[in-house]
Each structure stands twice: as C-alpha cells, then as structure tokens.
C-alpha cells in the first residue's frame, strides 16, 4: 500500500507575493507531498489554482459550512458565522457550487476530494438540529451531484 501525503495549509499564511505559490508547491513536492488542502482563501485564489495546475499537485478544498469567509471589518477568517441549520445548509450548497465551478473552469486541475467540515461542531449538543442538518445535508449533496 502506498500512502499519498496531502499538506494541510490550515493556519499557514499565503505566500507574498502570490508569484511564490509555484515555488512553495514545488518545495512541497520535493518533500513528498502530492497535494495540499486549503480553505476558501486558497481555492479562490487564481494564482494558487494556476500553481496547482502547473505542478500537477492535487488541490483539496476544505469547506467550513456557516463560515469560510473573511470578516469584512477585520479581514480575519470566520470559522463559524452562523448557528442556524439553514445557514449551514445554504453555505454548504454555495461552497460546493464554487468548488464545482472551479473544476469546470480548470479541467486539468487535479481535484479529487473535498473535505467538508459540515456543521463544524455547531450541533453537537442538540439532537434535533443534528438530525435536521444531516437530513438537509443529504438533500443538498444529492442535488449538487459532485
């Protein structure tokens, strides 16, 4: 069995300037990584997507439902922006759509898996919300048809 290594870029600031994406990914390849997992800041960055395509690295999008965006006031990443089931499901549908469009626009991009942090622990202590979310999640995923 051969294991493939994916480097999580969670908490790693993007290289500056963006032109260095290519050298960062090439360095990761030399270390034995075949891809990297990035939050929306990464997979929404055209320079990063181009670098993944150029190196043949797998891009593994990491989605956080109910968050996954920059706060307009602070610029900080919002991990959980809503506690509502509807908000998380709406976010799931939107972000899966973004990822699908990214793959359609970049057919040579290696994107094999999406890591979805669905609910991001929001519904751990509420059985009814957990059930409602899981039922909604199944519906959204079947509609989106990844």
* Domain ranges, ordered by start, for the chain: 5-144
Residue 7: pLDDT over 90: yes
Which band of pLDDT confidence, cut at 50, 70 and 90, is reported for residue 146?
low
d(CA 79, CA 91): 12
d(CA 12, CA 8): 8
Return the C-alpha torsion angle 23, 76, 99, 114, nearest 10: 80
Q: What is the average pLDDT value for the chain, to the nearest integer? A: 89
Scanning 6-126, the segments in alpha helix (DSSP H) are 21-30, 40-43, 46-55, 85-105
* pLDDT tens readout for residues 117-139: 888 778 888 999 999 999 999 99
Share of the chain above pLDDT 90, in %: 58
Residue 111: pLDDT over 90: yes
pTM score of the predicted model? 0.85
Share of the chain above pLDDT 70, in %: 97
Residue 12: pLDDT over 80: no
Q: Which residues pair with 38 in a beta bridge?
A: 61
Question: 45-66 b/e with 16+ CB inside 10 Å = b?
Answer: beebbebbbebebbbbbbbbbb
Which band of pLDDT confidence, cut at 50, 70 and 90, is reported for residue 93?
very high
* pLDDT tens readout for residues 26-42: 999 999 999 999 988 78
């Amino acid at each position: 069995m051969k294991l493939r290594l994916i480097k999580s870029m969670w908490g790693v600031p993007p290289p500056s300037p963006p032109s260095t994406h290519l050298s960062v990914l090439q360095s990761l390849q030399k270390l034995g990584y075949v891809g990297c997992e990035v939050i929306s800041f990464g997979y929404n960055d055209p320079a990063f997507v181009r670098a993944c395509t150029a190196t043949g690295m797998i891009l593994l999008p990491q989605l956080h439902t109910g968050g996954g965006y920059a706060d307009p006031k602070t610029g900080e990443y919002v991990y959980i922006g809503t506690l509502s089931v509807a908000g998380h499901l709406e976010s799931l549908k939107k972000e899966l759509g973004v990822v699908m469009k990214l793959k359609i626009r970049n057919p040579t991009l290696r994107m094999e898996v999406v890591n979805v942090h669905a609910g991001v622990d929001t519904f751990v202590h509420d059985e009814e919300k957990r059930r409602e979310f899981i039922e909604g999640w199944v519906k959204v995923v079947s509609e989106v048809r990844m």
